[in-house]
């Protein structure tokens, strides 16, 4: 008797390996490396100049307080923007259609993107965290801090990647990525990443707390900052339960919505739709 292999298992394994291969390809590609290092260096330089400023009402370094916030921002940015742009670019260039023409290829494709974006996010987080630990005083890395960091990271990725995939499916072409970038940038500005959110007007605070970026920043701060720093947060607490609920809510919404939207998007893919987009893209270039 021949052993029967589950095709879904095979596709999932192929997806994992595809994710690993594409991640590795990124490390030998100047453009991708620039994408990793440029934001990290800029952020570290900005925080370095903030290190002598104090968080209002405390004598804690504003630079040190910003570092964990930027980790949260990085997770959100990867899940929302990188996921959306990867999807919209690979839909335009026909990668997705190839996946569709392969048995269980869409499953493999999705797993590969989750693997790749997760890997990219981890690398970006490490590129901020490791130098940051040397540059700033006052950050704690106790075992408890690691546990918090890991669960915030995980639920952050689950909360943002499906939403990113939905946004990527809804965009018609990569030139429209600004429709995702601008709102995300706006949210970063209002989510207390670079300055305590309590300095913002109440209605903006309320708005920011609807979205995952604020909670990712808060979760990361709760992991890496001393307990006393909770005093400058809303409600003078790290609000772990609320963090879990809001990020869990986004995760649930994304996981329900993403398969529906992705399936609808994939159904419309065909040789002629890719050709039409290629035509349009080439017209813009010339």
Partner 1 sequence: MAVRAGAEAPTVTGSPADRGIALDVHDLRMRYGSTDVLTGVSFTARRGEVLVLLGPNGAGKTTTIEILEGFRMRSAGRVEVLGVDPARGDERWRARLGVVLQSWRDHSRWRVRELLTHLGSFYAPYSADQIRRPWDVEELIEVVGLTEHVDKRVGQLSGGQRRRVDVAIGIVGRPEVLFLDEPTAGFDPAARREFHDLVHRLTDIDDTTILLTTHDLDEAEKLADRILILAGGRIIASGSADELSRRISVDAEVRWSRGGARFVHSTSDATAFVRELLAQHGEEIADLEVRRASLEDTYMALVHEYESGRAGSAARAFEEVAG
Q: Which residues bind partner 1 (CB under 8 A)?
A: 4-7, 10-11, 13-14, 17-18, 21-22, 25, 29, 90, 93-95, 97-98, 100-105, 108, 269-272, 274-275, 278
Q: Which of 252, 18, 236 is nearest to 112 (CA)?
A: 18
* H or E segment and range at residue 196: none
* CB nearer to partner 1: pick between 99 and 223: 99
Half-sphere exposure of 157 (CA within 13 A, CB side): 18
* CB nearer to partner 1: pick between 9 and 49: 9
| Shortest distance, position 108 Cβ to partner 1, whole Å | 6
| Shortest distance, position 104 Cβ to partner 1, whole Å | 5
Q: Report CA torsion sign: 176, 182, 185, 187.
A: negative
| Shortest distance, position 99 Cβ to partner 1, whole Å | 9
Spell out the residues 6+ positions from residue 126 whose beta carbon is closer than 8 angstroms to its own: none
Q: Which of 80, 84, 157 is nearest to 118 (CA)?
A: 157
* CB nearer to partner 1: pick between 101 and 150: 101
* CB nearer to partner 1: pick between 92 and 233: 92
| Shortest distance, position 172 Cβ to partner 1, whole Å | 17
Q: Report CA torsion sign: 228, 233, 234, 238.
A: negative
* CB nearer to partner 1: pick between 27 and 146: 27
Structure tokens at 254: 């994304």
| Shortest distance, position 274 Cβ to partner 1, whole Å | 7
Spatial distance between the Cα atoms of 225 and 275, rounded to a whole number of angstroms: 52
Angstrom CA distances, 82 to 111, 250, 269, stand at 15, 17, 21
* CB nearer to partner 1: pick between 228 and 282: 282
| Shortest distance, position 179 Cβ to partner 1, whole Å | 23
Spatial distance between the Cα atoms of 177 and 184, rounded to a whole number of angstroms: 11
Write the DSSP assignment of 90-140 as a string of letters. HHHTTHHHHHHTSTTHHHHHHHHHHHHHHHHHHHHHHHHHHHHHHH-SS--
* CB nearer to partner 1: pick between 17 and 58: 17
| Shortest distance, position 153 Cβ to partner 1, whole Å | 27
Q: Which of 227, 218, 197 is nearest to 72 (CA)?
A: 218
């Amino acid at each position: 008797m021949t052993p029967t292999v589950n095709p879904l298992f095979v596709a999932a394994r192929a997806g994992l390996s595809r994710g690993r291969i594409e991640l590795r390809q990124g490390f030998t590609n100047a453009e991708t490396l620039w994408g990793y290092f440029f934001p990290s260096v800029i952020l570290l330089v900005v925080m370095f100049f903030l290190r002598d400023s104090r968080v209002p009402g405390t004598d804690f370094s504003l630079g040190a307080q910003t570092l964990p916030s930027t980790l949260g921002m990085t997770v959100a940015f990867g899940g929302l923007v990188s996921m959306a742009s990867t999807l919209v670019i690979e839909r335009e260039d026909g990668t997705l259609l190839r996946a569709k023409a392969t048995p269980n290829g869409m499953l493999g494709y999705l797993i590969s993107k989750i693997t790749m974006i997760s890997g990219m996010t981890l690398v970006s987080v490490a590129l901020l965290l490791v130098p940051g630990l040397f540059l700033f005083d006052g950050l704690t890395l106790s075992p408890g801090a690691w546990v918090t960091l890991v669960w915030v990271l995980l639920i952050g990725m689950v909360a943002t990647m499906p939403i990113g995939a939905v946004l990527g499916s809804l965009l018609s072409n990569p030139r429209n990525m600004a429709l995702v970038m601008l709102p995300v940038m706006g949210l970063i500005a209002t989510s207390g990443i670079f300055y305590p959110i309590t300095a913002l007007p109440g209605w903006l605070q309320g708005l920011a707390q609807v979205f995952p970026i604020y909670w990712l920043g808060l979760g990361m701060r709760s992991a890496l900052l001393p307990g006393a720093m909770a005093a400058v947060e809303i409600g003078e607490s790290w609000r772990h339960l609320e963090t879990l609920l809001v990020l869990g809510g986004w995760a649930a919404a994304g996981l329900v919505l993403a398969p529906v939207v992705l399936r609808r998007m994939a159904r419309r893919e065909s040789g002629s739709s890719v050709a039409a987009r290629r035509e349009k893209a080439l017209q813009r270039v010339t």
